[in-house]
């Protein structure tokens, strides 16, 4: 297993939910963390934690965050893409604004961060990319628009695995079901029966630590029975 000491991990969506839990988990475990979020004043910096503004939809924001991370810590060993939004879009809806927004945030945001970080990840020989997708990236619920964006995140993850393999980059798509975050508050399942952000953060940490010859491409996580196919 790879050790955390000296490794720098970027985490998007770090202000709340899975992102915040991941920052806390990795910092406690001994990683150095670069947290990206819309409002950088909402998280306090620490000895091994730097906080940076990041807007998934804003052109140049990914590149600026990567540059700031390298300037502060000198390297990047891993990237955890958590930032995402949930909008309801059905096949027969006439308006595409919500779908376009999900595509910009959920798909193009991670893509831009990965592209900006690839040279640094390659330099380590054991770069890691963890993309938080969803059960909706493995089967199609009523909200087909959200599923489309998460299917794309899974596809992106496999593309990173393929193109980065020889440089030692390994990529994992974590696909949880309902997680007790603000995003899941619209669903009827009680929060205590959902997966917890801290548990998903623990799985993310594990994916960052597995060696090159034990890579996990997809990790599907359930809090209730799911007929996946």
Task: Indicate which residues carry an active-site annotation.
Answer: 146
Dihedral, 102, 106, 108, 110 alpha carbons, nearest 10: 170
Cα(183)–Cα(164) distance, rounded to whole angstroms?
32
Q: Which residue has the tokens 């503004």?
A: 53
CB within 8 A of 152, min separation 6: which ones? 103, 106, 107, 137
Which among 68, 2, 83 is positioned nearest to 34, based on CA atoms? 68
Neighbours of 141 (CB within 10 A): 12
Written as six digits, the tokens of 26 are 């990795």
Cα(170)–Cα(132) distance, rounded to whole angstroms?
14
Written as six digits, the tokens of 76 are 């990047």
| 33 phi-psi bin (left φ>0, alpha ψ -120 to 50, beta other) | beta
């Amino acid at each position: 297993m790879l050790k955390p000491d000296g490794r720098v991990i970027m985490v998007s969506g770090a202000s709340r939910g899975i992102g915040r839990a991941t920052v806390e988990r990795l910092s406690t475990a001994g990683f150095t963390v670069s947290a990206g979020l819309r409002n950088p004043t909402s998280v306090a910096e620490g000895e091994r934690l730097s906080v940076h503004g990041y807007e998934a939809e804003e052109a140049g924001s990914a590149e600026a965050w990567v540059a700031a991370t390298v300037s502060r810590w000198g390297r990047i060993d891993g990237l955890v893409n958590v930032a995402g939004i949930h909008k309801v879009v059905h096949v027969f809806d006439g308006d595409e604004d919500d779908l376009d927004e999900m595509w910009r945030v959920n798909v193009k945001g991670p893509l831009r961060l990965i592209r900006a970080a690839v040279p640094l990840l390659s330099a380590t020989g054991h770069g890691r990319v963890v993309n938080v997708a969803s059960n909706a990236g493995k089967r199609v619920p009523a909200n087909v628009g959200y599923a489309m964006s998460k299917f794309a995140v899974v596809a992106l993850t496999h593309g990173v695995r393929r193109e980065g393999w020889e440089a030692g980059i390994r990529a994992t798509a974590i696909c949880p079901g309902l997680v007790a975050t603000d995003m899941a508050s619209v669903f009827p399942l009680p929060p205590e029966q959902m997966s917890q952000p801290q548990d998903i953060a623990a799985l993310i940490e594990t994916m960052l630590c597995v060696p090159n010859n034990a890579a996990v491409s997809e990790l599907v996580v359930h809090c209730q029975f799911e007929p996946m196919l």
